[in-house]
Chains A and B, each alone.
Chain A
């Protein structure tokens, strides 16, 4: 394991207690789900798919297209290429997808299967049958990475496999809108993507978003049965990403796909590590004005003013609060900078893997690579736990309120429709957190305020005894 620097503490336990991670292939499937007419396919035993499927369904409350190559004992010993081929052909005839996104699992990766060459062979041999369906591969063993890595690998594989390479003429014809390629990280919700699109369109630009979960996982009711995703990025648009004038990547984990797009097509990219918080959004909006040459629309100015007001009203509730966060690296950065930007302090920061450069910038004393067991240990004395729904047990035991973020959120409705980015999302986050604090305030008691009692405890161990907003 790589040690980023002294602040990133690697895991030393042998038994992970209450995992924080969801698996890497799940992250890849998640990204494929943001493409129209897609069918993610796990190359592994049927349980791998079943577990991921159930978890997706619990989170989204939607039917999720996800299939398996159903490796059995014989395939485990002799190799899974035949299963892979059969699965791809079966999916093609039964569901007619526009995209099959193959995600490997620990089982086939431990066997050391060369899935890339398997797929190349299948595509060659079955070219006729597979016409009209793209097949791409993400190498995503479960023993490495988590959602972030899986998501980024899937996006990279789609760009490498589908996007037409070569520099294109990017000067739009008259009356044609300038195209912007947007590569959002997995931590952006359906509402975030919708909002991001509206913001870009407000500047007269045409956004092409990959992946676009707002089209496929937003919970609409179609009037017929569709076995694949319905809605999301169109394969044709992925093919034409090279015609964008600019690429905007959101989250450090999207750097690699953005680089690959740049290498293949010459489209330049700008990376925003977070789109939450006034400063980052200002930078983003400035970029849009530069690209479009348009002035900032009145409604965007209005949203900014609303955020300023929310900062003023909200900061009373945040100042001095100790926050314990467990999240994937980019989301950890997004939330930690949000909280410190409001005057809170990050008392515990736990994350999934140590591969991301963003961890060096997380505003916390240290970042623990670990699980919810670590969060529970480090969070004693904190005012707020911030993690996904699995944190509920720790929150109960510690008696600390839990703010649910990320994936999975299975015990609250509407997590996909929560806005977390740009002026409006930052404003909403402020309100959400301030409301949690107000709902959980402690009434003053003589014991808690007794000056002599409090003197026995060193100041830094005290969770703001006088704060009772």
Chain B
């Protein structure tokens, strides 16, 4: 575990992370995750974070070395898409029993599990994840993986991120470290070229990267590896031969981006495919970096031409929504880079942002949001469910965009809600994705159910008409009141 500790300290000391560089030595050593409050904590563990980053690699068998809960309660729950292999959706776990734990049979069971998977599925690689219990009982997954790699002749990669070491975000980074230590650079591609790029931190949720990839194809730019969305093991193993990289999810894989720059001289920038101007800016930056690294400078012109063409089409499509959405108030409750890029895009069509969470954002992110919103009061670190519910039920927002966790706070307050996190059903990246997002906001806000659910039952609308029988003459469903009006009180909040 000491090597894991060293790794964690090392990851916390990320020079490319601006938030981190603002801290003094002591604060930096403490790491980026705030200590959790027992009884008031939310969010996933490091194992969760590691699995989120690696599981979308589609042709790898992901084996969770754990008692049941770690995998049994969490598999088949993410909306990333594959253009080919489906093995990543098959769940593998050693499902340790009490006997395995007590008798110390964990390592042996793990080794046998690797053999079974190899024989039945012949994957190009197997990723083995350690977890709280297997770390606690001292199973040496690195040794088992090393032995299995030799014995079975296929890469068996240890992912050392047991849940108790920290947060989901730390797990993201430890997953990046595992790729650096064991995967990237292990295979030499025979087709490397001057237009090869890597996309880091793109998960291909609902297949949304496929809204962007054709734009790159059109420019003759090849995605050597998209990590992890729709990736194959070999793409990642040979990712070190790309000429440039884009980092999409700012906090998740920054260590991976920086170290690939150090080791293999792959320059990177941080960008986003959410929103029109951001998509254009990303294309521009990719082209710029490639040209700097020796691609033909005419790429810049072609990129500008494509951007002009695509932006014009997208704006035209969006203009249709402006009359329906102008002045609508949106509450954004999501972390990280999604905030500023989405804020910008929505404001472009006249939507008003009444608040955005900056919980996971860096100092720089916050600065960007501040500039765009022109009002600091609209930023909040995080909101307690009760406050959020109060805000929504007072109709301070017309819609909330967030992840599934807070979905029911909006719905129970009878406020439209749109999923913009990992479980969502619609692709929002690129120019077309932005149009889709605005379309979904329009559909959500204007759905006819809102009027129905907000209206009280008819018998609660009128003052009491005691003992009057329902009118049977009309034959319609108008039922008169039997009991006194029992109005709902909006200020009646329980403690939370």
- Interfacial residues, chain A to chain B (CB-CB below 8 A): 1, 13-19, 21-26, 41, 44-52, 54-55, 57-58, 61-63, 67-73, 75-76, 83-84, 86-91, 94-96, 105-107, 110-111, 141-144, 146, 221-227, 371, 390, 393, 410
Contact = CB atoms under 8 A, between A and B. Distances in A.
Interface in B344-394: 385-386, 389-390
A107 B133 CA distance: 6
Contacts of A13: 113, 116
Contacts of B46: 47
Contacts of B166: 72-73
B69 A50 contact: no
A226 B494 CA distance: 6
Interface in B94-119: 94-101, 109-110, 112-117
Contacts of B95: 16, 19, 21, 371
Nearest to B171: A47
Given A17-B90, A19-B93, A54-B74, 18 more contacts: A14-B94, A14-B112, A23-B67, A23-B73, A46-B163, A50-B48, A55-B77, A73-B166, A86-B38, A89-B39, A142-B66, A143-B68, A143-B101, A144-B97, A225-B390, A225-B409, A227-B385, A227-B496
B73 A52 contact: yes
Contacts of A22: 68, 72-73
Contact of B163 (A25, A48, A146): A48
B69 A90 contact: no
Interface string B136-173: 11000000000000000000000000011111000000
A225 B488 CA distance: 12
A5 B297 CA distance: 76
Nearest to B100: A143
Contacts of A54: 74, 77, 404-405
Contacts of A223: 488-490, 492
Contact of B99 (A1, A45, A47, A94): A1
Interface string B12-39: 0000000000000000000000011111
Contacts of A51: 44, 48, 69-70, 73-74
Contacts of B92: 15-17
Contacts of A146: 68
B38 A48 contact: no
B496 A23 contact: no
B43 interface: yes
A17 B90 CA distance: 7
B469 interface: no
A390 B89 CA distance: 10
Contacts of B453: 221
Nearest to B495: A96
B97 A143 contact: yes
A91 B93 CA distance: 33
A15 B94 contact: yes
Contact of A19 (B35, B91, B97, B110): B91
CB-CB nearest 5 A-B residue pairs: A47-B45, A87-B39, A90-B39, A15-B113, A87-B38
A62 B495 CA distance: 19
17 contacts: A14-B94, A17-B91, A18-B90, A19-B91, A22-B68, A45-B132, A46-B43, A47-B132, A55-B77, A57-B408, A72-B165, A88-B39, A110-B137, A223-B489, A227-B386, A393-B90, A410-B77
A68 B107 CA distance: 29
B477 interface: no
B101 A71 contact: no
A270 to B, nearest CB: 32
A62 B44 CA distance: 19
A111 B68 contact: no
- Highest count of chain A CB atoms <10 Å: which of B69, B390, B409, B492: B69
- Highest count of chain B CB atoms <10 Å: which of A23, A89, A142: A142
- Highest count of chain A CB atoms <10 Å: which of B47, B63, B98, B114: B98
Contacts of B115: 14
Contacts of B407: 57
A44 B72 CA distance: 16
Contacts of A52: 69, 73
B136 A111 contact: yes
A90 B38 contact: yes
A146 B98 CA distance: 13
A1 B95 CA distance: 14
Contacts of B167: 46
Contacts of B389: 225
A89 B390 CA distance: 25
Nearest to A56: B73
Given A46-B44, A143-B96, A19 B136 contact: no
B296 interface: no
Nearest to A411: B76
A95 B494 CA distance: 8
B39 A19 contact: no
Nearest to B65: A15
B305 interface: no
A225 B493 contact: yes
Given A15-B63, A76-B132, A83-B38, A141 B409 contact: no
Contacts of B110: 14
Nearest to B95: A16
A23 B90 contact: no
Given A18-B91, A146-B68, A45 B163 contact: yes
Given A55-B74, A146-B68, A106 B132 contact: yes
B89 A21 contact: no
Contacts of A72: 35-36, 164-166
B98 A144 contact: yes
B164 A14 contact: no
A73 B165 contact: yes
Contact of B41 (A23, A61, A67, A222): A67
- Highest count of chain B CB atoms <10 Å: which of A51, A143, A225: A225
Contact of A48 (B69, B77, B409, B489): B69
Nearest to A392: B76
Contact of A1 (B37, B97, B404, B494): B97
- Highest count of chain B CB atoms <10 Å: which of A61, A143, A222: A143
A350 to B, nearest CB: 14
Given A47-B44, A96-B494, A142-B67, A18 B75 contact: yes
Contacts of A91: 39-40
A43 B42 CA distance: 14
A68 B41 contact: yes
A211 to B, nearest CB: 20
Contacts of B99: 1
Given A1-B99, A110-B101, A19 B71 contact: yes
B414 interface: yes
A178 to B, nearest CB: 30
Contacts of B70: 47-48, 51, 142
B41 A46 contact: yes
A96 B492 CA distance: 15
Given A21-B72, A87-B38, A227-B385, A47 B91 contact: no
B412 interface: yes
Nearest to B414: A221
A62 B412 CA distance: 9
